[in-house]
Structure formats: structure tokens, C-alpha cells
Amino acid sequence: MMTLKQVSELTGVNIMTLQYYDKIGLIRSQERTDTGERLYDKDALLRLQEILLFRELEMPLKDIIAILNDASRDKQKALQRHAEFLELKKQHIEGLLSLIHNIMGDEGSRLDFSIFNTKKMDECKKQIMEQL
């Protein structure tokens, strides 16, 4: 079991956000200490990890709650789609970095706007949202 502070330090999620997630039912502390401090178990941390993955897609909390409470959802398929999206996002960031290095180097006068076309990434995100 971990305290709220320990969970915050482990995950990088601030304490107020964790308290809010608890309040709206996204995660629940399983127990409390004698002084009333929330304690979280491994299942709560696994759920928080899923929440943070959905937040990477900029998904609203109300949608995350609905998805996590849907017993029929295919968790493996959802994770696979997340992986695909993050791979596209990674390629996008690498392209942006390459463009920056080109601008700073000798190729600075070459025009290249292809990296700003996020249609593929947007479509993948749309498909993920529709499937969840």
C-alpha cells in the first residue's frame, strides 16, 4: 500500500489531481491510515496508469470513467491502438527535431512542411476514440 504522497512522487501526478480522481471515482483509495490518510494498492496504481495513458490522448475524464467502467472493453486492443498512436507521435517529434536541426544547419533555406501534416496521427486518434 502506498500513501497519496508516495503515489504522487512515483507517478508525477500532483496530490490535488489524485484527490480529485478519487473524488470522482476514477481511482479509489482502498484503505486509510489511522490518521485518515488515503492508501492505494497495486490495482489502484494499475488503473492510474491506464488513466494516464488515456490522458496522453487528451481524452476527457468523463470519457475515461465510462471506458474504465465498461466491462466489455478489450483492454489488449485498446493498448495496441495506444501503442500505434504513440509510435506516430514519436515519428512526428523526431521529424520536428530533424527540421530544427536542418534549419540550424546548412539546409536552413530548404522549405519542408511535410512534418506539419498530422493527418495520419489525427486519424489514428479518431479511430482509437471511436473504438473505445
Condensed to tens digits (0 to 9), the pLDDT of residues 39-72 reads 999 999 999 998 998 888 878 888 888 888 888 8
Q: Which of 22-31, 56-65, 71-80 has the highest mean pLDDT?
A: 22-31
What are the structural domain ranges in the chain? 2-68, 75-131
The predicted pLDDT at position 41 comes to 94
The predicted pLDDT at position 131 comes to 67
The one-character DSSP state at 32 is E
Would you say 4 and 40 are in contact if contact means Cβ atoms under 8 Å apart? yes
Q: Is the pLDDT of residue 112 over 80?
A: no
Computed over every residue of the chain, the mean pLDDT equals 86
Burial level of 16, CB count in 10 A (0-12/13-18/19+)?
exposed
Q: Fold for domain 2-68?
A: Multidrug-efflux Transporter Regulator; Chain: A; Domain 2 (1.10.1660)
